[in-house]
Structure 1
Amino acid sequence: MLARLPLGVPLLMAAGATLLLCLAAQRWFRPRGRTVAKLALVSAGCCLGMVVTGAVQRDWSVAQMLILYSFTLAGALIGLFPSRRLLAAFAEESRRGVRRDRYHLPVRHQAAFYGAVILMGLLAFVLAT
């Protein structure tokens, strides 16, 4: 359904999802330096990798892969929302030099993340075909 729109629309969706990821990382974790710029480059690389994978397999068009990328990234952001304070505390400890052997996320936070990514991935699949 969404894949029938002009290619500019899925491109804007992908750019918007990447922008939201970078803004959320900046606000929640307050990283130093160019970390957010590196995150944007890695996200763009992942998006390009998804598009190339879809083109190589010839099953998915560029628009469909951009829709999948946008929705799963939005699902990841939604899933990270409940654990944002805990992750921000981990980031602050790391900036102060405190190192832990293991960082524990509660099961409900993990379930929220995985559930949101899976649901948004399924919704993307339905809307992209």
Structure 2
Amino acid sequence: MLTSLPLVHLLIMAAAAASLFCFFMAKWIPGRRGRIVFPLISAGCCLGMILVGRIQYQHWPVQHMLVLYSFAWTGLTIGLFPARKLMHEYATEVNAGVKREKYDVPARYQVAAISSVIIGSFLGITLS
């Protein structure tokens, strides 16, 4: 369904999902490095998904992988929303030079992130 859109629209959809992710991650995790690293990670994951789709047995086309990337990346952003204060706290501690032996992340935050990525991926597969 969504794969019938022109490739330019799918690229815009993927860029919007990546921009949303980068904006919120830069807001939740303060520091200059995040503004450089998160767009690179987003672009690398998009290219990686396209390459993995191409080497699969069924050869998923670029359109399918862009739809899947957009929905999964948006799901990741939504899933990390509950942990935003904890990520901000840990990032400010690291930027201040405080080192902990272990950074505890409650299970509810992990479940939220994992389940939202899975739901987003299923929506992406269904709508493509």
Band the TM-score falls in, shorter-chain normalisation: over 0.9
C-alpha displacement of 1:10: 1.1
State the alpha-carbon separation in 2 of the partners of residues 27 and 90 from structure 1.
13
Q: Does 1:76 align with 2:76?
A: yes
Q: How does 1:1-129 map to 2 (within 5 A)?
A: 1-32=1-32, 34-57=33-56, 58-128=58-128
State the alpha-carbon separation in 2 of the partners of residues 38 and 110 from structure 1.
22
State the alpha-carbon separation in 2 of the partners of residues 84 and 42 from structure 1.
19
C-alpha displacement of 1:38: 2.2
> After the TM superposition, which parts of structure 1 deviate over 4 Å for at least 4 consecutive aligned residues?
none
- For these two proteins, the number of residue pairs brought into alignment is 127
C-alpha displacement of 1:50: 1.1
Q: Secondary structure at the match of 1:105?
A: coil
TM-score relative to the length of structure 2: 0.93
Gaps of 5+ in 1: none
% identical aligned pairs: 44
Q: Secondary structure at the match of 1:60?
A: coil
State the alpha-carbon separation in 1 of the partners of residues 6 and 109 from structure 2.
37
